[in-house]
A = this chain, B = another copy of it.
Amino acid sequence: MELQNYIAKNGIPLEIEKGKQVFAQGELCDYVYLVKSGLLKAFYITADGKETIKSFIQAGTIIGSLNAAHCKVPSTFSLEALSRSELVQVPFYELLALSKKSISISQEFIQILLSLSLKKERREYELLTLSATERFENLCKDQPELVKKLTQNDIAKYLGITPVALSRIKHQ
């Protein structure tokens, strides 16, 4: 909580309207964001122009392009609001510097990274071993409230299939 409090107190508040982007794929972005309210999606645009969704971000989450922030390279994905969202922005290096001075902050950092790894591991597992139908069933079971807020377009892009395929799956 110490870390979240720090961000909430020292960060710059942002308001992102529905459909607007926080940062875009290809840009440098070494900030980290705490989501206070709203709903966002992190997504890739592939070489042939198709969109696939990496994750949905709900209130209470800390999000940012670790890659971009940590390695000083352009972000591989974009972050866009699906509904009006309130964020608080803080430079990544500021948190890293903070963690160098306080054991409790660095412990919190470790916990956040651990749970991030677990989330990614779960997703990797599902992509690797489950069919689109099973992934859809899991999503509906695990996050029914989230599913209600999403369009089928976005659900499909998250599952890694087309909206047409998702419609077929739903109809059977």
Interface residues of A (CB under 8 A from B): 44, 46, 50, 52, 54, 66-67, 70-71, 76, 96, 99-101, 103, 106-107, 109-110, 113-114, 116-118, 120-121, 123-125, 127-129, 160
Contacts and interface: CB of A to CB of B under 8 A. Distances in A.
Does more than half of chain A's interface fall in helix, strand or loop, or is it mixed?
helix
A103 to B, nearest CB: 6
9 contacts: A46-B129, A52-B128, A52-B129, A66-B121, A71-B118, A100-B107, A103-B103, A113-B113, A127-B128
A120 B118 contact: no
A38 B110 CA distance: 29
Sorted nearest first, the 6 A-B pairs with minimum C-beta distance are A113-B113, A120-B120, A127-B127, A106-B106, A46-B129, A52-B128
Contacts of A160: 127-128
Contacts of A125: 44, 54, 76
A66 B124 CA distance: 14
Contacts of A118: 66-67, 70-71
A128 B54 contact: yes
A67 B122 CA distance: 10
Count of identical protomers in the assembly: 2
Nearest to A67: B118
Most buried by B among A50, A103, A114, A116: A114
A117 B62 CA distance: 15
